[in-house]
Amino acid sequence: MRILLTNDDGIFAPGLKVLEEIAAQFSDDVWICAPHEEQSGAGHSLSLNAPVRLHTHGPRRFSVTGTPTDSVTLALRTVLDSPPDLILSGVNRGANLGDDITYSGTVSAAIEGALAGIRSIGLSQVLDRNASHDQFDAAGAWGARAIAPLLDTPLPSRTLINVNFPPIAANKVAGIRAVRQGFHDYSRGSVVEGRDPRGLPYYWFGLHPIEHTLDHGTDLEAIDEGFVSVTPLQLDLTHHASLGALAERYT
Ligand code: MN
């Protein structure tokens, strides 16, 4: 089985090392093609107005001076001589829960894989900055257990899987739950304003925790209760229940 690894934290990120150890439990045909620098928050962006360069770091190890989507695209079209059977993106340093996913470069790399018809999984480690255990402890110990059933579960085309690991020590993890995507409230997210050395204003996003509701059966609730969350996602964002009513407004 050929596996392509990528992420949005960059080729030197500690989470990518964790992912390499997870992937090695399934295959020795593992390739890495990841952004050269951190691209967290890049979402599904594709570099259209700047050249993208491919750097070789060793056998089957490449970085791309672009986004996670650029990295998957270059891997599939230039780096690999035959497509991978599986794409793993992560392990992201931080949560990708609820409405995080459209901002997420980690999940978007998996979206790019799903668009190419390849089984794709995004993996993220929720962080507790005050914890004494290794930040990626849960991902390292539970990664293969979360992935194994996903390898032969039938999935329709244009779907992908989003996995999050709770911010607790591996021996405290309660298990793995298949759950739906929860809701964050990004509309109340704060923007911090400061002044640069020239006295000009600048703005900084994403400094404060995002408010959310722990609805039953969601990824947010599973993580809160100490479980690994596994959420199938679809690329069809159409709200089908509204389609009929809307169509009538245009007749
Ligand atoms: Mn990231």
Residue 165 Cα to ligand 1 midpoint, Å, equals 14
When pLDDT is averaged across residues 191-211 and rounded to a whole number, the result is 88
Q: Convert the pLDDT of each residue in 160-185 to its tens digit.
A: 999 999 999 999 999 999 999 998 87
- Residue owning tokens 């107005």: 49
Task: Spell out the CATH class of 2-183+212-249.
Answer: alpha beta
CA of 26 relative to ligand 1 center, distance in Å: 24
Beta strands in the chain (DSSP E): 2-6, 29-35, 54-58, 61-64, 86-93, 119-125, 159-165, 175-178, 183-184, 191-195, 201-205, 212-213, 227-234
pTM, full prediction: 0.95
Instruction: List the domain boundaries for the chain.
Output: 2-183+212-249
Q: Give the tens place of pLDDT for each residue, 64-81.
A: 999 999 999 999 999 999
Q: Is 184 helix (H, G, I), strand (E, B) or coil?
A: strand
Distance 14 CA to ligand 1 centre (A): 11
- pLDDT mean across residues, the chain: 95
- Please tell me the distance between residue 234's alpha carbon and the centre of ligand 1 in angstroms: 21
Reported as a single tens digit per residue, the pLDDT across 15-73 is 999 999 999 999 999 999 999 999 999 999 999 999 999 999 999 999 999 999 999 99
Q: Report how far ligand 1's centroid is from the alpha carbon of 89 (Å).
A: 10
% of the chain exceeding 70 in pLDDT: 99
209: which residues sit within 8 A by CB, 6+ positions away?
Answer: none
How far is residue 85 from each of residues 76, 82, 192, 216, measured CA to CA in Å?
11, 9, 43, 34
pLDDT band at 209 (very low <50, low <70, confident <90, very high): confident
What spacing in Å lies between the alpha carbon of 150 and ligand 1's midpoint? 22
- Distance CA(54)–CA(74), nearest Å, equals 8
- Rounded to whole angstroms, the Cα distance separating 197 from 165 reads 40
Q: How far is the CA of 13 from the centre of ligand 1 (A)?
A: 9
Determine the distance separating the centroid of ligand 1 and the alpha carbon of 76, expressed in angstroms.
21
